[in-house]
């Protein structure tokens, strides 16, 4: 299998970080880059937004990726606490596999080039997949954040038995 996209600081697929907080992920993107301990890869449902993110890089491409359940609606999950609504972000928990990339287009200056289809796209595996939608349990606000006292997040507030774990932590075995 060829590459794909992994969260920074992660060497292979499968969740390898305890920090699955979308709030932390959002806070780490102020400089258009995520923190190394972050468990997400940023994507956008807007081709023009995606192009802005790679604008000016020496080798820039915009990828069309088929959704999967690990693609979480960041804006919907964080609601009024989302700072980047205009980015239409879907955060890919644990990364994006190469075989789920449908196609890509080079960005030449400010113009998108011709589409190249990924011959390794696995339509049988991903063709009917759906996104993960809104996942309030992954919001991961800090312990004393006001959101924990509001709907819809208050039902997902970490309990006392989770003290000492990072906000938004999940265990996957």
Contact by Cβ (8 Å): 21, 34: no
Angstrom distance (rounded) from CA 37 to CA 3: 20
Given the residues 47, 86, 89, 151, the one annotated as active site: 89
Phi then psi for residue 64, to 5 deg, are: -100, 120
Is position 89 annotated as part of the catalytic site?
Answer: yes
Which residues, 6 or more positions from 145, have their beta carbon under 8 angstroms from its beta carbon?
A: 23, 81
Cβ atoms of residues 43 and 70 within 8 Å: no
Q: Which residues pair with 133 in a beta bridge?
A: 72
**Quick count: other Cβ atoms within 10 Å of Cβ 91?**
27
Which residues are bridge partners to 11 per DSSP? none
State the catalytic residues: 89
């Amino acid at each position: 299998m060829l590459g794909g996209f992994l969260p920074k600081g992660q060497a292979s697929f499968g969740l390898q970080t305890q920090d699955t907080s979308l709030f932390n992920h959002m806070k780490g993107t102020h400089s258009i880059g995520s923190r190394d301990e972050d468990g997400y890869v940023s994507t956008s449902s807007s081709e023009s937004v995606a192009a802005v993110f790679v604008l000016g890089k020496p080798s820039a491409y915009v990828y069309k990726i088929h959704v999967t359940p690990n693609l979480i609606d960041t804006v919907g999950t964080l609601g009024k606490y989302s700072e980047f609504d205009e980015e239409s972000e879907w955060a890919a928990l644990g990364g994006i596999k190469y075989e789920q990339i449908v196609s890509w287009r080079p960005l030449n200056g400010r113009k998108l080039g011709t589409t190249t289809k990924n011959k390794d796209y696995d339509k049988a595996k991903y063709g009917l997949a759906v996104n993960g939608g809104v996942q309030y349990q992954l919001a991961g606000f800090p312990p004393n954040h006001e959101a924990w006292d509001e709907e819809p997040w208050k039902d997902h507030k970490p309990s006392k038995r989770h003290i000492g774990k990072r906000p938004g932590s999940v265990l996957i075995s």
